[in-house]
Amino acid sequence: MQKNKQISPKRVLRYFRQKYMTEKRFFFPLIILRISLTFIGLLPAIYFKEIINALSWSIWWDKNQIFAVAIWLLLTILWIKLTNVVLYRAGDFMMINMSVNIMKKIYLECFDYVHRHSFRFFANNFTGSLIKKINKFVGSYDMITDTITFELSPIILNLIFILVIIGLQDRRLSLIMFVWFVVYAVIQYFLYKRNYPYEIKANEQDSKISWVLSDTITNNFNIKVFSTLKREYKDFESQITFWSKLQKKRRYRAMLIRSITWLMMWFIEFIVFYMALKYWSYDTITIWFFVLLQMYLLRLMDQLWWIGNVFRHLYRWFSESAEMLEILDEQHEVQDSPNAKSLKVHQWAISFDKVWFAYEGESAVFSNLSFRVKPGEKVAFVGESWAGKTSIIKLLFRFFDIQNWKILIDDQDISTITQESLRNSISLVPQDPVLFHRSIKENIAYGNPQATDEQIIAASKMARCHDFIIKLNDWYDTLVGERWIKLSGWERQRVAIARAILENKSILALDEATSALDSESEKLIQEAMDEVMRSKTVIVIAHRLSTVMKMDRIIVMDAWKIIEDGSHRELLTNKNWIYKKLRDIQSWWFEK
């Protein structure tokens, strides 16, 4: 994943603007409603001014007439406020619908886009950190939208309307306020813009803290076994210390900005009232206009005081959004070609044709790897660790893309077919099966959700896991627990085998599928697997040679190359061959 590419606030706003456009039926009416509400909210002050003005004429007018006028003005203010309440509730209705709909879309987009990232992406990113980034991203959208709608836009609209109303009476005061506000906004913008990198660093460290916490809590067993609590505490303390330094820097800068904001607001308040008093002394404005100016200025100052907090909060949420946007902006490493088609095969032959592949930043792993698995053939790959056996399965599933030449299934280049159709055609039983925190039944039926209970039980019996399942309290409805904690290694592996049996796909890949089983269980599973593999094309990765002796072919790998290829009997004919040596070592070990 590319780092050090800082996501700007403009990029964040551009992303959210695109989402707003998906809800035009609410977005544009909300803008019109927000403008109307701001204007209507300024009207009561004008009518209050008229009430005070009317009361001042009590010396010359009849008090009953003045009272009638004042009551009419008061009822008008009441009507305006009631209208405001109704319009606000209508705005709330539209805002709720727009925000929730967009948050739903963002959640779904993040879910889909993250899951489409490559095997390498998940190997390089911590699960807990990814979850937090998604949640912060959705939460930031909600807060940014609320802040712009209910805090920033009222400030700007109030200023515009107030400047227009004051300008109708005295353009000079309006111009002074306008110039000051522009200067004020520019200064605030640049002050918080300079603080933005600290927000980014603080949020990155915040995610790192979550990563460390989740990692240590997940590995609490290891911490106890190795008695490393003090060491882990010390490491966590160093991370928290760095986090606290960043937090202090960020908050000290925010405190400085607030101090500057205070000074600027006191200055403009003094200047405006000074000029207003001066113009009043010249009889260019009335005392009633002075009252109106005071009401508007106090209202505006109260809102402008919060503009610093608005900028501070916006930049904080921009920085929280940036972490997830960086992931959304990262291209998927493995992608379907624009004209990718679904895999359509009948024989299920597999060919690696002069495959050239290297992991990122490493020298070539396979430089000229070629082999063919015939339809219905059972081929095993054996060899020492790091010989490249498991990489063959990863390339077959397109967890990584090769750099040159082809991998074919029935003469169809897998780079030209959709990943979904490719993976829907192959069953995999990995060395370390991963189960969902769901029921055993759901895990077994995951690759075939339409399977009946009878089919699930039949697959379980074939995989030799039915007996231990019915001993559990809830049988097949038993939850396996977070990180499948309720099942042992051999139980998980049997569930994974049952899942592959139920899928019943024509290509079956077994990556050390019986490695966690004892000898007796392995023998039972092997009998079941012999039946399952009967009509399938099978690739088996194994260390235990006892599991591959019945395969049609055995391919021996060493240093990422194929060095021997033949049946079990053929490979034993030459005592200098590696397969013969591996078999002798394992036979000696088990005899011991």
Q: What is the pLDDT of residue 592?
A: 42
Q: CA 485, CA 325: separation in Å to the nearest integer?
A: 34
Q: What is the pLDDT of residue 273?
A: 72
Tens digit of pLDDT for each residue in 542-578? 877 777 788 889 888 887 888 888 888 888 877 667 7
Can you list the pairs that 457-462 forms with residues at least 24 positions away whose Cβ atoms lie under 8 Å? 459/498, 459/499, 459/501, 459/502, 460/498, 462/498, 462/501, 462/528, 462/531, 462/532
Question: Domains (ranges, CATH) in the chain?
Answer: 9-329 (1.20.1560.10), 350-425+505-591 (3.40.50.300)
pLDDT bin (cut points 50, 70, 90) of residue 361 is: low
Q: What is the pLDDT of residue 159?
A: 79
Beta strands 537-541 and 378-383, pairing class: parallel
Look up tokens 């009222």; give the residue: 154
Q: What is the pLDDT of residue 4?
A: 43
Report which of residues 424 and 187 the model is more confident about.
424
| Those residues with Cβ within 8 angstroms of residue 494's Cβ, 6 or more apart along the chain or in another chain | 463, 464, 465, 468, 517, 521, 525
Mean pLDDT of the chain: 79
Residue 342 near residue 327, CB atoms below 8 Å: no
Q: What is the pLDDT of residue 585?
A: 63
Look up tokens 């209208």; give the residue: 83
Q: Which of 125-139, 188-202, 446-460 has the lowest mean pLDDT?
A: 188-202
Q: What is the pLDDT of residue 588?
A: 46
Residue 264 has which token pair? 């600027």
Q: What is the pLDDT of residue 2?
A: 43
- Whether 305 shows a pLDDT value over 80: the answer reads no
Tens digit of pLDDT for each residue in 123-147? 777 777 788 888 888 888 888 888 8
- Whether 484 shows a pLDDT value over 60: the answer reads no
Measured in whole angstroms, the distance separating CA 7 from the mean position of its chain's CA atoms is: 15
Q: Which of 8-22, 107-121, 356-370 has the lowest mean pLDDT?
A: 356-370
Mean pLDDT of 405-434: 86
Side-by-side strand order, sheet with 404-409: 366-373, 350-357, 404-409, 412-413
Give the highest mean pLDDT range of 48-57, 77-86, 480-489, 511-520: 77-86
Q: What is the pLDDT of residue 222?
A: 66
3-class secondary-structure state, position 382:
strand
User: Cα dist. 164→32, 157, 161, 275, 489 in Å?
Assistant: 19, 11, 5, 18, 75
Q: What is the pLDDT of residue 520?
A: 67
- Whether 298 shows a pLDDT value over 80: the answer reads no
Mean pLDDT of 421-435: 83
Tens digit of pLDDT for each residue in 206-237? 777 777 777 777 666 567 656 677 877 888 88
Q: What is the pLDDT of residue 481?
A: 66
3-class secondary-structure state, position 277:
helix
> Residue 579 CB: number of other CB atoms within 10 A?
23
Give the highest mean pLDDT range of 183-192, 229-238, 292-301, 336-345: 336-345
Q: What is the pLDDT of residue 516?
A: 57
Q: What is the pLDDT of residue 586?
A: 59
Report which of residues 400 and 219 the model is more confident about.
400
Mean pLDDT of 242-268: 76
- Whether 60 shows a pLDDT value over 70: the answer reads no
